[in-house]
Homo-oligomer: A and B are copies of this chain.
């Protein structure tokens, strides 16, 4: 429809060459103020919008980074994304947000797309923990909320083993001796780490390993938490756990909901501890005890690490943050 006004139309209209227009756009200081004004006027008048494809093709740079997020519906990740976005925009980069929705097919598609787009860098919380899957293709890539096992790239993570230990120790100290851990699938590194931490806490307290029952779920969504709650209530009350440690807050919220529906009280009949400390955890049916992670900072740090990748003396780093237990009503002391 519209013949799409280009840099040369502007040049003609302002009576200069297109190189000058390009200079006005990219190095305003190098062009004489008078001409600059004239060019800017022409740009405004013609409604010129720079064609980023052409720019990128020629310049080789793209001013865009991407974050491939594991689950855009999980508030934990939207908070991380906010940190990423803030850091990116401070550095003059735009953020391309992609949602793999825990589907490795989608993840692959998006990575392919991003490579084709020649983004400057990629942040990713991968579906599969195995970071070796990302064939190096020249685009800097840093792992978010996952630890890089090999030293081939940067990563920013939180100590999930410690987090699991904190949660579990808290429940043990509250007097619980039959505890369930709810989470899954075990293919997720996070779940495994938090479980290891829980086991470590058990060992530290001198409790037998069978004091902890692991209930595996298919994913980390609210619905699975509800399902786990039903499974839990189905157990004979003599063998039923008196406390549950959920691998994330969504599961915990589902579990809470299921307890309320079935007429059980939290924390009296079942103490519950979640993980992530999302904003909704404090507003839950019973305010949720949870393991807090520095979400925005996670994202912010990851973005900064990514943007430092093309500095000449860059060395891959592995940042690890410490989680922190936030105690609320859902795990009040057992009397």
Contact = CB atoms under 8 A, between A and B. Distances in A.
A19 B62 CA distance: 26
Nearest to A96: B96
Interface in A97-115: 97-99, 101, 110, 112-113, 115
Count the copies.
2
Interface stretch (A34-42, A199-207, A277-285): A277-285
A173 to B, nearest CB: 25
Interface stretch (A149-157, A252-260, A300-308, A317-325): A252-260
Contacts of A53: 52-54, 56-57, 62, 117-118
Contacts of A117: 52-53
Contacts of A282: 257
Contact of A138 (B4, B62, B78, B284): B4
Interface in A231-290: 253-254, 256-257, 260, 279-280, 282-287
A85 B99 contact: yes
B222 A283 contact: yes
B222 A279 contact: yes
A116 interface: yes
Nearest to A69: B97
A193 B52 CA distance: 39
A81 interface: yes
Interface in A130-165: 135, 137-138
A94 B79 CA distance: 23
18 contacts: A2-B138, A4-B138, A49-B116, A51-B116, A51-B118, A52-B117, A53-B53, A54-B57, A72-B78, A72-B97, A73-B75, A75-B75, A222-B279, A222-B283, A280-B280, A280-B283, A283-B285, A285-B286
Interface of A: 1-2, 4, 47, 49-54, 56-57, 62, 72-73, 75, 78-79, 81-82, 85, 94-99, 101, 110, 112-113, 115-118, 135, 137-138, 222, 253-254, 256-257, 260, 279-280, 282-287
Given A52-B113, A94-B113, 16 more contacts: A2-B138, A47-B137, A52-B116, A53-B53, A53-B117, A54-B57, A73-B279, A81-B99, A82-B99, A95-B98, A96-B96, A260-B287, A280-B280, A280-B283, A283-B284, A285-B287
